Amino acid sequence: MGLALAQARLALGSGDVPVGAVVVGPDGAVLGVGRNEREATGDPTAHAEVLALRAAAAALGSWRLDGCTLVVTLEPCVMCAGATVLARVLRLVLGAWDPKAGACGSQWDVVRDRRSTHRVEVVGGVREPECADLLRDFFAPRR
């Protein structure tokens, strides 16, 4: 989670919402990192999770991320939760829950839906105060 938080802080430089993500392989090796880059790139799909999943797939040479863990500072949205399922990620470790748009247990539970072809184990609340504070500090002057 420390590496994901470092990525989230880097997103602040471009005015992006500070969310960071890391994909870790079954052996513990970091396969991909990402941070929100929607403002930096103008790409609506440039969420931290998607960028980390793309980097991990490139590193492995396969879209299947079997046995991998996605670590992210904020509960993924519907798009990112869907990408996590489609990549066949084994486990999702998240920091702060997102009661407004979270799709891994808060508003929806895309990653554990019994109708899906793959389900993802969810471990939530890891370093939650740090992750939530980073987001709260980012949004406070914007409200």
Are 106 and 78 a contacting pair, CB within 8 Å?
Answer: no
Pairing of strands 20-24, 30-35: antiparallel
Can you tell me the distance from the alpha carbon of 100 to that of 121, in angstroms, rounded to the nearest whole number? 21
CA atoms within 13 A on the CB side of 110: 19
Is 104 marked as a binding-site residue?
Answer: no
* 128 assigned to active site: no
Is 118 marked as a binding-site residue?
Answer: no
Choose, from 49, 75, 121, 128, the residue flagged as catalytic.
49
Is 77 marked as a binding-site residue?
Answer: yes
C-alpha triplet 24, 29, 32: angle, nearest 5°: 50
Q: What six digits make up the tokens of 116?
A: 């899906």
* Binding site feature residues: 47, 77, 80
Q: Which residues are known to be catalytic?
A: 49
* Binding site feature residues for Zn(2+): 47, 77, 80
